[in-house]
Structure 1
Amino acid sequence: MRIICTVTNDLSHDQRMDRICTTLQAAGHDVLLLGRWLPGSPPLESRTYRTHRLRCRWHSGKRFYLEYTYRLRNYLRQQTAEVICAVDLDTLLAVSFLRSPDTKIVYDAHEWFSETPEVVHRPLIRRIWRTVGRRLVPRTDARYTVGPALAELLEEDYKITFEVIRNVPEQIEYTNKENSEGVILYQGMLNPGRGLATAIEALPLLPSSCKLWIVGSGPELEPLQRIAVEFGVSNRVWFAGFTPPADLPALTAQAWLGLNLLADSSPSYYYSLANKSLDYIQAGLPSVQMDFPEYRAIHVQYDVFSLLPTLSPTALAAVIRELIDQPDRYVQLQANCHAAARDLCWEVEAPKLLKIYSDLARQVTTSPARLPARSD
């Protein structure tokens, strides 16, 4: 089948979509991943599937969503496809205009879009996105999301079933870390609500041997740099900037502890399952996770995290100090990560993904369907 996947990011950071598209391409499908070009977007490395980035005049706010919907719809109308995968509600609207009997629509919910921090506290905008979701999601032909708790909530909201495809990495060679406090690692986007200011403010409460590596880029970079100066720890914080996904394992291997901190600012964050938490497990790296449902469920089953009950510098420093003061506990977490990594890997999730698309393949015609011609 020819499959087109649509996102609103610039494709450079999106490891989940890279894994999904690579897996589908390897299974014999013809895959195109559509995103958007942003000012400063890095060149994309060579991939096994095709990619294309749309250029927009606007990059945020209502103008962006309207423009991107228009440009995405018009681009898709020039393509042929048997399946279109819309990632989150901000691409599903454009894809829904292209429904035809010969084209199946898949909805991949990376998050509970109407309950994200950017939306949930704006009643009118939230109501619009909730209406979009409740009208369009039930009309899709297949749906999946990143975790069991979120799947249950989405099923309740949209009154239709969701499969679970966890955002887990491929298996890698496990390496033991020396049991001494050192590099504390955050990898991911520098967006509001990620607890990075808390991590910086916790450093003065920790031994001077503890360093914080922040690997990623985003709108919070400059405010975080100012906080590091304000708290006198700028020499202990390394802002590594954007790092290609292929280079992340080398940095992770140097870390002593991983961080995945989130503010309880929205239901989408509270019920999230961030890929970095699973990346840490695969790397055999103990990590601090928020005491939210998905992370607690994994911890109860595998005992791989130190759970943080509340997002504050003192609480975070206390959790980290416990690992420093209890080296046997740290070693146990390492061993548990090693055991859990055999289950929490892409090799386990990929067959579930392929089954969804193989079921769709049996429902479509043998020749790719041209999407409806432009009428404007």
Structure 2
Amino acid sequence: MRIICTVTNDLSHDQRMHRICGSLQAAGHTVTLVGRVLPNSPPLTPRPYQQHRISCRTLRGKRFYVEYNLRLWGQLRRWDFDVICAADLDTLPAGVILAGISRKLVYDAHEWFSETPEVYHRPLVRGFWRGLGRALVPFTDARYTVGPKLAEALEKDYGRPFEVIRNLPQKQADSFSENTGGVILYQGMLNPGRGLEQAIGALPLLPDCRLWIVGSGPERGRLEALAEREGVADRVWFAGFRPPEELPELTKQSWLGLNLLEGSSPSYYYSLANKSLDYLQAGLPSVQMDYPEYRALHERYHCFVLLEELTAPALAARIRQLWDAPAAYDQLRENCRAAARELCWEREEARLLAIYAALEERG
């Protein structure tokens, strides 16, 4: 089949879509991933599937979403394709129109869009996105999301079943953490609700530790100012975005990973973030919030440090506890290595291919 996948990012750092598109292409489909070009977008990295970027005059806010969907429709309506996959709710309006009655429409929900921190606390905006989702999701032919608990929540909200395609990384051979000591790693977007204020606030209580923040986003300036105020700027490295191929080496040099999310957002509470699985695949112990998906994995593999309260003192206490127990740390690392053999994309992609095979059979 000829498949188009649409996202709102610039394609350079979307590891989930790179894995999905690569697997579909390898399975014999013809795949094009469509995103947008930003003022600071790096050149596209060659991939086994096709890539296309769209330029917009507006870069954020409601005008951007309207413009981007209009541009998606304007360009893609002339393309020949059988299936369009809308990644997240913000590209689904164009997907519904482009699919029409003769093509298949797939919804890949990376998150519960109306329940993200940027939307959840704004009643009018949240109401709009919830209404849009409930209006458009019934037009989709297949749906999947990143974890079982989120799938249950989306099914209840939208009244349609969701499959689960987890953000599992590809298996890494001999790339486990070297435990260099003291480096605490965060990789991902610098958005509200990611627990980075608490991570920086914990550093004064952890004099032996450094914090590497790999990624960028709207919170960077505020976080840099916070590090200065806390007197730990010399121990916080804002690395900015790094190409996906560089991330394993940075992870390998780290002692502990962080995936901290505010539970006031239902999308975060039901999440299964790809960074948590990237850390695990690298054999890197990590601190995860005590939310349903992370607890379920921990109960099965005993592979995480779970944090019940997202505060700087609570985080520092959990990290100090691990720092003072090297035997427990080594056992946690071994548990990560054991879990990594099962939690890899090579096993997960069969679920993805089955969804598209079913669409192809239905014609």
- Please indicate, yes or no, whether the TM-score normalized by the shorter chain is above 0.5: yes
Whether 1:18 aligns to 2:9 is no
Whether 1:136 aligns to 2:133 is no
Q: Which residue of 2 aligns with 1:333?
A: 332
Q: Which residue of 1 aligns with 2:80?
A: 80
Correspondence list, 1:259-338, <5 A: 259-338=258-337
Partner Cα distance (1:286, 1:110) in 2: 24
- Letter matched to residue 213 of structure 2: I
SS at match of 2:362: coil
- Letter matched to residue 250 of structure 1: E
Correspondence list, 1:175-254, <5 A: 175=175, 177=177, 181-207=181-207, 209-254=208-253
- Letter matched to residue 26 of structure 1: A
SS at match of 1:218: coil
Partner Cα distance (1:328, 1:346) in 2: 30
Q: CA deviation at 1:175?
A: 4.6
Q: Check the 8 A contact 2:177/2:282 in 1, yes or no.
A: no
Q: CA RMSD in A?
A: 1.2
Q: Check the 8 A contact 2:118/2:192 in 1, yes or no.
A: no
Q: Check the 8 A contact 2:177/2:251 in 1, yes or no.
A: no
Q: Check the 8 A contact 2:110/2:146 in 1, yes or no.
A: yes
- Letter matched to residue 232 of structure 2: V
Partner Cα distance (2:295, 2:161) in 1: 24
Q: Which shows bigger deviation, 95-104 or 156-165?
A: 95-104
Q: Which residue of 1 aligns with 2:103?
A: 103
Q: Check the 8 A contact 2:83/2:99 in 1, yes or no.
A: no
Q: Which residue of 1 aligns with 2:8?
A: 8
Partner Cα distance (1:94, 1:314) in 2: 46
SS at match of 2:357: helix
Partner Cα distance (2:133, 2:261) in 1: 25
Correspondence list, 1:34-45, <5 A: 34-45=34-45
Q: Which shows bigger deviation, 142-151 or 70-79?
A: 70-79
Q: CA deviation at 1:177?
A: 4.3
- Letter matched to residue 318 of structure 1: A
Q: Deviations over 1:198-242 (max 9, x none)?
A: 1111111013x3111111111111111111111111111111111
Q: Check the 8 A contact 2:214/2:240 in 1, yes or no.
A: yes
Q: Check the 8 A contact 1:179/1:331 in 2, yes or no.
A: no
Partner Cα distance (2:49, 2:119) in 1: 33
Whether 1:145 aligns to 2:135 is no
Q: Check the 8 A contact 1:200/1:228 in 2, yes or no.
A: yes
Whether 1:172 aligns to 2:146 is no
Q: Go from structure 1 to structure 2 and tell me whether the alpha carbon gap of 1:256 and 1:143 turns closer, same or farther (over 3 Å shift).
A: same
Percent identical pairs in the alignment equals 66
- Letter matched to residue 352 of structure 2: L
Q: Which residue of 2 aligns with 1:159?
A: 159
- Letter matched to residue 154 of structure 1: L
Partner Cα distance (1:301, 1:280) in 2: 17
Q: Deviations over 1:95-148 (max 9, x none)?
A: 111233331000000000111112112222212211111121122110100000
Q: Which residue of 2 aligns with 1:256?
A: 255
Partner Cα distance (1:125, 1:88) in 2: 16
Q: Which residue of 2 aligns with 1:369?
A: none
Q: Which shows bigger deviation, 178-187 or 102-111?
A: 178-187
Q: Go from structure 1 to structure 2 and tell me whether the alpha carbon gap of 1:318 and 1:98 turns closer, same or farther (over 3 Å shift).
A: same
Whether 1:62 aligns to 2:45 is no
So what's the TM-score if we normalise by structure 1? 0.94
- Letter matched to residue 239 of structure 2: A
Q: Go from structure 1 to structure 2 and tell me whether the alpha carbon gap of 1:50 and 1:179 turns closer, same or farther (over 3 Å shift).
A: closer
Q: Go from structure 1 to structure 2 and tell me whether the alpha carbon gap of 1:338 and 1:34 turns closer, same or farther (over 3 Å shift).
A: same
Q: CA deviation at 1:176?
A: 5.1
- Letter matched to residue 55 of structure 1: S
Q: Check the 8 A contact 1:174/1:338 in 2, yes or no.
A: no
Instruction: In structure 2, list runs of 5 or more residues that go unmatched.
Output: none
Q: Which shows bigger deviation, 198-207 or 96-105?
A: 96-105
Q: Go from structure 1 to structure 2 and tell me whether the alpha carbon gap of 1:206 and 1:5 turns closer, same or farther (over 3 Å shift).
A: same
Q: CA deviation at 1:174?
A: 3.8
Partner Cα distance (1:181, 1:287) in 2: 13
Q: CA deviation at 1:326?
A: 0.9
Q: Check the 8 A contact 2:187/2:215 in 1, yes or no.
A: yes
So what's the TM-score if we normalise by structure 2? 0.98
Q: Deviations over 1:293-343 (max 9, x none)?
A: 111111111111101111111000000011111111111111111111111
- Letter matched to residue 268 of structure 2: Y
Partner Cα distance (1:26, 1:71) in 2: 29
Partner Cα distance (1:67, 1:77) in 2: 15
Equivalent pairs, count: 363
Q: Go from structure 1 to structure 2 and tell me whether the alpha carbon gap of 1:168 and 1:123 turns closer, same or farther (over 3 Å shift).
A: same
Partner Cα distance (1:171, 1:180) in 2: 22
Partner Cα distance (1:153, 1:45) in 2: 35
SS at match of 2:98: coil
